[in-house]
Amino acid sequence: MLNYRLKISLLSLLCSFISFASVAQKVKEPQHISPEWSKPYPAFRIAGNLYYVGTYDLACYLVATPEGHILINTGLAASDKMIRASIESLGFKFDDVKILLTTQAHYDHMGAMAVIKKMTGARMMVDEKDAGVMEDGGSSDYALGGSGMTYKPVKADRLLHDGDTVKLAGTSLVLLEHPGHTKGSCSFLFDVEDEHRSYRVLIANMPSIVTDKKFSEVTAYPDIAKDYAYTLSAMKNLSFDIWLSSHASQFGLHTKHKPGDAYNPAVFMERAGYDAALKDLQGQYDKKIARN
As a three-state string, the secondary structure of 52-103 is ECCCCCECCEEEEECCEEEEECCCCHHHHHHHHHHHHHCCCCHHHEEEEECC
Rg over CA atoms, the chain? 20
Q: Do 208 and 181 meet the contact criterion of CB atoms below 8 Å apart? A: yes
Q: Do 199 and 132 meet the contact criterion of CB atoms below 8 Å apart? A: no
pTM beyond 0.85: yes
| Packed helices 113-120 and 80-89: angle between N→C axes, nearest 10 degrees | 50
Residue type, 275: D
108: closest CA among 208, 243, 237, 8? 208
Tens place of pLDDT for every residue, the chain, 292 residues?
445 454 444 444 444 433 334 434 689 898 878 999 999 999 999 999 999 999 999 999 999 999 999 999 999 999 999 999 999 999 999 999 999 999 999 999 999 999 999 999 999 999 999 999 999 999 999 999 988 999 999 999 999 999 999 999 989 999 999 999 999 999 999 999 999 999 999 999 999 999 999 999 999 999 999 999 999 999 999 999 999 999 999 999 999 999 999 999 999 999 999 999 999 999 999 999 998 7
Q: Describe the chain by its helix, strand, coil percentages, rounded to 5.
A: 40, 20, 40
d(CA 175, CA 161): 7
Residue type, 160: L
Q: Do 125 and 157 meet the contact criterion of CB atoms below 8 Å apart? A: yes
Which domains does the chain carry?
Answer: 33-291 (3.60.15.10)
Bridge partner list, 121: none
Strands laid side by side in the 97-101 sheet: 44-47, 50-52, 61-65, 68-72, 97-101, 123-127, 158-160
| Packed helices 224-236 and 272-291: angle between N→C axes, nearest 10 degrees | 160
